[in-house]
Amino acid sequence: MKKIDAKKNRRREQRYRVLKRGKIVIKGLSSVVDCAVRNMSESGAQIRVEGYFVPPNRFQLQIMGHFNEPVWVEKRWQVGNDIGVLFQEGNE
C-alpha cells in the first residue's frame, strides 16, 4: 500500500492507497450498490461509485478482503462519484 501524505491532505491519520471492491448496503431499502475503495485509514475511507449516487448520511459498507461483515459508516463528504466515510463504532 502506498502512503498518502497526511499533512498535504489535512488528515489526522495516515491514509493508504488501496483498490478494493466494496458494497454500500442500505438496509431500509434492501439495496446494494457496488463501489471501489480508493484509500483507507484506521478511521475511514474514500470510496467511488460507478454512476452518480447520493447515499444516506449513515449506511453499511462491506469491503471485500478487509471486513468479514458490513460496518456502519457516516458520510462525511461527497464530490461527484467520490464519497468520504468515517467508520462508526457499534451497530445501528
Residue 37 corresponds to which cell in the numbers above?
475503495
pTM of the model: 0.81
CA 73 to chain centre: 7
pLDDT of 1 reads 53
Please give the average pLDDT of every successive group of 10 residues along the chain, which has 92 residues. Answer: 51 82 87 94 95 92 88 96 91 56
CATH of the domain at 53: 2.40.10.220
The answer as to whether 92 is a domain residue is no
Domain assignment present for residue 59? The answer is: yes
End-to-end CA, the chain: 31
What pLDDT, on a 0 to 100 scale, did the predictor assign at position 6?
A: 47
The predicted pLDDT at position 29 comes to 73
Contact (CB, 8 A) for 74 and 43: no
**Domain-embedded: residue 60:** yes
**How many domains does one find in the chain?**
1
**Is 38 contained in some domain?**
yes
